[in-house]
Structure 1
Amino acid sequence: MLLDDMENNDAIGSGQVKSIEFPNIILQSETGQTVKIKTTKQQQADLIFWESIMNIKEAEIWLPYQKEVQYLLDFDWLGDPQFT
């Protein structure tokens, strides 16, 4: 199921990477707000993760995140059953 198909997707936002302030990622949301995304210890130690984030920033790709806790979604643009 895609996030757009979910009935209750108010808990999920999307944004573009505007800057990287290790260990956080700064997004600009669809409404123009600045959102500081926290990273996990595993993400912080993962060089491939950071290279991917830099490539995503360069390509101006939109990323989904959990609004309440401000973390990136593990399941990308697919709906997690816990949110349905």
Structure 2
Amino acid sequence: MTDTAAADPLSLDLSPQALLRWYIDAGVDECIGEAAVDRYALSERLLAEAQARRARAQPAPPPPPAAGNRQAPPRAPAGPSPRRRGPSRSMP
């Protein structure tokens, strides 16, 4: 326990220099502005911006074919499918 923790609370040095020293000793390394930062609103805004960038980056879907320009869907190749008959020879 440190001497300041055991000392009388009314006899503590409350000068700005002592307060800053206490903050440094506690590991504070960043100041805060006058207004609070709403991290939830900030993350929602960043998420919306990222989604908008993704939407702009995606190519537009191709237009549907015209009514008079319909083509048949591609056909599968004709011919028998290769099949093995009998037991496998690679296994003992």
> What range describes the TM-score normalised by the shorter chain of this pair?
under 0.3
Q: Over alpha carbons, which structure has the higher Rg?
A: 2
| TM-score calculated relative to the size of structure 1 | 0.19
Higher helix share: 2
Using CA pairs below 8 Å that are at least 6 residues apart, which structure has the higher relative contact order?
1
